[in-house]
Amino acid sequence: MLAVNKVLFDLSTVYSNISQSETWMMANTLMKAKEGLEEFLIEIEDNKLFDTHYQKEKNAIEDQLFYVNANIKTLQDALLCHETKFIEKRTGLGDLGVFCLN
């Protein structure tokens, strides 16, 4: 059986311990890994001879894709949290509204 990395990132841990640039790099790395896994799935579908041929590999890749997608979502949420640190709200024109400077 192929090993599946089942580590899930926690939003509060990622946000408090990893900078915005490191979070961005991790998200890009996971996106590239996701693309590779999806390419493997396509190749398995194209090259299987029978319905059960490469079934273990296909299941392992699908399981890994679940964890990769969940971690990408967590990293994207952490990036949004980092973005909120840079927004400054100003009310300059009274009733006309609030301006957000980024």
Residues 6+ apart with CB under 8 A from 7: 67, 71
Q: Can you list the alpha helix ranges (DSSP code H) found in the chain? A: 11-17, 20-47, 55-84
Please report, to the nearest 10 degrees, the dihedral formed by the alpha carbons of residues 12, 13, 18, 24 taken in order: -60
The pTM (predicted TM-score) of the whole model is 0.79
Gap between the Cα atoms of 15 and 74, Å rounded: 9
Residues 28-52: pLDDT tens digits? 999 999 999 999 999 988 887 777 8
Q: Where are the domains of the chain?
A: 11-101
Q: Residue ranges of the chain with pLDDT lower than 50? A: none
**Given this model, what pLDDT does residue 42 score?**
92
**Given this model, what pLDDT does residue 34 score?**
97
**Given this model, what pLDDT does residue 49 score?**
72
50: helix, strand or coil = coil
